[in-house]
Chains A and B, each alone.
Chain A
Amino acid sequence: GENVEQHPSTLSVQEGDSAVIKCTYSDSASNYFPWYKQELGKGPQLIIDIRSNVGEKKDQRIAVTLNKTAKHFSLHITETQPEDSAVYFCAARFRDSGYALNFGKGTSLLVTP
């Protein structure tokens, strides 16, 4: 079936460094790719999203890039801070799945001071 793969599963960076999380998807007709941040004991929080008609989107320290040919998209966090520590999930909306989001397995990001 259609799938979203996410790497790495854990990522540790020093405060101020950049963090990059990558996802690949299988359905070439996918058209919407959100990223969620989940802090301990809370629900997923939408932090940024991108649609298939653009290649990059930026919001302050967070950016997402999309390569439709290679079927992968990435989350970039610059100037990381300890409060960026959380689990990050990528997701994709597949052509045949209506409005359902299909999630990756998550990346646990730890930003150390």
Chain B
Amino acid sequence: EPEVTQTPSHQVTQMGQEVILRCVPISNHLYFYWYRQILGQKVEFLVSFYNNEISEKSEIFDDQFSVERPDGSNFTLKIRSTKLEDSAMYFCASSRQGGGEQYFGPGTRLTVT
């Protein structure tokens, strides 16, 4: 069964550093998403991406965040200058259609020290 994969599983970085989180969505899916989950809290939407551009973004997704589909398989989330409060699990998800079921990857745990 096809799955969303994410790398790395755990990333530790110092405050102010740039990080790139990587995702490989399910191959025939066209819509891609990033969500985050701060420890003990609910999953929060960050951004959706379709046809090589951002479809929508939340208030969390400020100028420090960017997304990219650099090739036909990867989907990345970049945080330009990390803050302590960026520490969270970051989940990538994909769906075949815009209103379709979203399938989540296993997540990347980001720890900012």
Contacts and interface: CB of A to CB of B under 8 A. Distances in A.
Interface of A: 32, 34, 36, 41-46, 49, 89, 91, 93, 97-106
Contacts of B71: none
A65 to B, nearest CB: 19
Interface residues of B, number: 25
A106 B44 CA distance: 12
Given A97-B45, A101-B45, A103-B43, A43 B101 contact: no
Given A32-B99, A99-B48, A44 B56 contact: no
A42 B45 contact: no
B42 A99 contact: no
Given A98-B48, A100-B58, A106 B42 contact: yes
A101 B91 CA distance: 13
Contacts of A100: 33, 45, 48, 56, 58
Nearest to A43: B104
B107 interface: yes
A101 B94 CA distance: 12
Contacts of B103: 46
A35 to B, nearest CB: 11
